[in-house]
Amino acid sequence: MKRIEGKVALVTGGSRGIGAAIARRLAEEGASVALTFNGSPEKAGQVVQSIEKLGNRAIAIQADSADAVALISAIDRTVKDFGGLDILVNNAGVLAVGPIDNFALEDFDRTIAVNVRAVFVATQAAVRYMKEGGRIINIGSCNAERMPFAGGAVYAMSKSALLGLVQGLSRDLGGRGITINNVQPGPVDTDMNPGNSETAEMLKKLMALPRYGTVEEIAAMVAYLASPEAGYVTGASLTIDGGFTA
């Protein structure tokens, strides 16, 4: 059953990894999908082609999420090309780790720009077009609640910020029938964070389920939040981490 047939979705950072899986899953559920990318045009094109093979419409838009003008333009183009916007998935994110003594201010600023500011910018632009039943879904991290190793403070802070943003915006948007939630993945097997690395073996020891998650598992939770079945879920941060924070 296609639960979001006829809906329009935009996924930021949708050219690879979790973002690409989300874009494909929303298309499988019936949505037309726009996705943004920054430096992977070939991979973005492959995602578009895979969606078009399903019989759905898809476009890829180059936009650095740290660039507010480009991000707003991507939302405007999605609405222009597809006739509206029903689902926004704020997936784009960056990770910089390092000890506080020499953590570069440039890395700090970009982390906040992409992981926090861009979520606000995209949400503000999107809700101007959304009608009742709109869905905003942010891809956070279980590190918002647990950072078990040194060097991850700035990343954890950026993801923790989304908890407060979502709780507050649920009040702003609830009267308009628009929901907003976070999905907080734990370790997920991607090309940037492979499940068979030395780091992965260390992290698995911290989990109740000693394995990495799959991008499809994260996409399934996003699809649920995008569907009518999740109409009563808002202001929530839903963790999918194999027991990493248990």
Tens digits of residue pLDDT in 14-24: 999 999 999 99
Catalytic position from the list 155, 212, 224, 232: 155
**Residue 208: strand pairing partners:** none
What are the 10-residue block averages of pLDDT along the chain, 246 residues in total?
95 98 98 96 98 97 98 98 98 96 98 98 98 98 95 98 98 98 97 91 95 98 98 98 96
For 59, half-sphere exposure in the C-beta direction (CA atoms, 13 angstrom radius) is: 16
| pLDDT for residue 176 | 98
Q: Which amino acid makes up residue 26?
A: L
| pLDDT for residue 3 | 95
Protein fold of 8-186+215-240: Rossmann fold (3.40.50)
Q: What percent of the chain shows pLDDT beyond 70?
A: 100
| pLDDT for residue 192 | 84
Alpha helices by DSSP H, listed for 178-242, are 198-204, 215-226
| pLDDT for residue 1 | 77
232 catalytically annotated: no
Measure the N-to-C terminal CA separation of the chain; round to a whole number of Å: 33
Tens digits of residue pLDDT in 82-127: 999 999 999 999 999 999 999 999 999 999 999 999 999 999 999 9
- Whole-prediction pTM value? 0.97
Distance CA 59, CA 186 (A): 29
